[in-house]
Chain A
């Protein structure tokens, strides 16, 4: 009985009504009772301003269930959510590294988002989360690493079903996400993705802009000491780039 209630509570319909009515809203539009799913955080890549991005990921299926049939699919989108590159990696190791620079992205010097999914032919009945690590190198300096931020997408292990923008949004009021740090640097940039299925009106301090589903943006924070983000997204947590002298610090807010 308890298991049935848990299943109903986690169902897509239940999440829809909970979020519609604002009763114990679910951050993720993901039914955890399902199986054989690879989920991915939205990872930022940037190749603008002499940046390159290092991506480190683990073969989670091998680590936990010794599934050595897994392949990795990584999909790269630009800031307007247009697919710019797709790679499939076979024979992956337990730990892996990928350098994302402008050469890798066919000359693109910009920023955007990428997702990573495991594919498997084995009958693994789990939901895994690819919450990996990205490092950002500025002017060829030591990359500053940050872990994955938010689950934003899912794909079945057989690749037949997929979904993006799985963070919930409020139907009524805007929410505030006030970053818990004091900003006193030469400059600060925050990277935001719209992780929901709907277009969002977002206000960052005094700046207001519209961000379409799964699109991303870098916002300059001038001399503000606080960063406040208003939107209808249930959790809009940015990646932050702080600059001081010739040094950078990247972390999730």
Chain B
């Protein structure tokens, strides 16, 4: 099961387009889009006020909040699986569990009277039960010459909590922490990135929660929007977990030096 989300920002609006079909062309039956939001240690779940045509559900900007997530389901699945216990996200169905290509919505961000950019977006249910660290290069997708640069860090955790933690900007060659930003779980965290931090050696490192780092540059009304891959994407051999553990340990050591 996959979740979908949008971004709400002072300058940018977003549109989520959720297909009613898998990549293989199989269409869903009797599903709607539901939205969930953490509220007093419970998930508040309700049917979303989407628009639709024969092939897609459209979640427009008016419905999008940084704390909301969206998913495909039927009323019956929600009633059966949750059984009035909304203390934890549940895996409701497998319609969006597709392989080899994941089931994705299109998440488009756009400027009023300006450009737009999108990527095929999903947040797998399996990721919502795990904690950990995300390591991602800052300079890979941001442009120091652009007028504005943002990182949006989206986390979905299965418990309906808004826990605070830190996202660090680390120079991995000089081995120093350059900045730390407070972020929240179950939220799209907006980070305005100063040009001084868009350098080759600088990576972001999340302290406690997994998430998807989304990179946005804006210049002359044009927009670029893309996510980075986690480190395990770059190692295919069986030593991948050992290599990634070693790399993350080194970052932990830098952070533990408390150089900021």
* Chain A interfacial positions (CB closer than 8 Å to B): 27, 30, 32, 35, 37, 39, 56, 58, 60, 63-65, 93-96, 125-131, 133, 135, 141-147, 175-182, 225-226, 228, 234-235, 237, 242, 244, 247-249, 251-253
Contact = CB atoms under 8 A, between A and B. Distances in A.
Report the interface size class on chain B: 35 or more
Nearest to A235: B100
Contacts of A125: 237, 239
Nearest to B122: A180
30 contacts: A56-B141, A63-B172, A64-B246, A94-B173, A95-B200, A126-B236, A126-B237, A128-B236, A129-B233, A131-B233, A133-B141, A135-B224, A141-B115, A141-B220, A144-B117, A145-B215, A147-B226, A147-B227, A147-B229, A176-B24, A178-B21, A178-B22, A180-B120, A181-B19, A181-B106, A182-B17, A182-B58, A225-B55, A226-B55, A248-B115
Given A95-B139, A126-B243, A180 B23 contact: yes
Contacts of A234: 100
Of B105, B120, B137, B224, which is in contact with the most chain A CB atoms at under 10 Å from its CB? B224
B140 interface: yes
The 7 lowest CB-CB distance pairs between A and B, nearest first, are A247-B115, A95-B200, A142-B222, A127-B237, A180-B19, A127-B236, A181-B106
A79 B221 CA distance: 32
A119 B114 CA distance: 43
Interface of B: 17, 19, 21-25, 53, 55-56, 58, 100-101, 103-106, 108, 114-120, 137, 139-141, 143, 146, 172-173, 200-201, 215, 217-224, 226-229, 231, 233-240, 243-244, 246-247
Most buried by A among B220, B234, B243, B246: B234
B101 A145 contact: no
B120 A252 contact: yes
A58 B137 contact: yes
B117 A249 contact: yes
Nearest to A250: B117
Contacts of B139: 56, 95
A179 B137 CA distance: 28
Given A125-B239, A126-B239, A247-B115, A178 B25 contact: yes
Contacts of A143: 143, 224
Nearest to A179: B23
Given A94-B173, A235-B101, A247-B115, A146 B17 contact: no
Contacts of A133: 140-141, 226, 228
A145 B106 CA distance: 15
A27 B100 contact: yes
A175 B219 CA distance: 40
Nearest to B173: A94
Nearest to A178: B25
Nearest to B98: A180
Contacts of A178: 19, 21-25
B227 A253 contact: no
A215 B58 CA distance: 36
A60 B143 CA distance: 21
Given A128-B234, A234-B100, A251-B120, A142 B106 contact: no
B237 A32 contact: yes
A35 B235 CA distance: 11
Contacts of B220: 141-142
Nearest to B18: A180
Contacts of A228: 25
Given A95-B200, A142-B218, A144-B224, 13 more contacts: A32-B236, A60-B235, A64-B246, A94-B200, A128-B235, A130-B234, A142-B143, A142-B224, A182-B56, A182-B58, A249-B115, A249-B116, A249-B118
Contacts of B234: 58, 60, 63-64, 128-131
B235 A127 contact: yes
A32 B201 CA distance: 30
Contacts of A141: 115, 219-220, 222
Contacts of B237: 32, 35, 37, 125-127
B146 A142 contact: yes
B103 A180 contact: yes
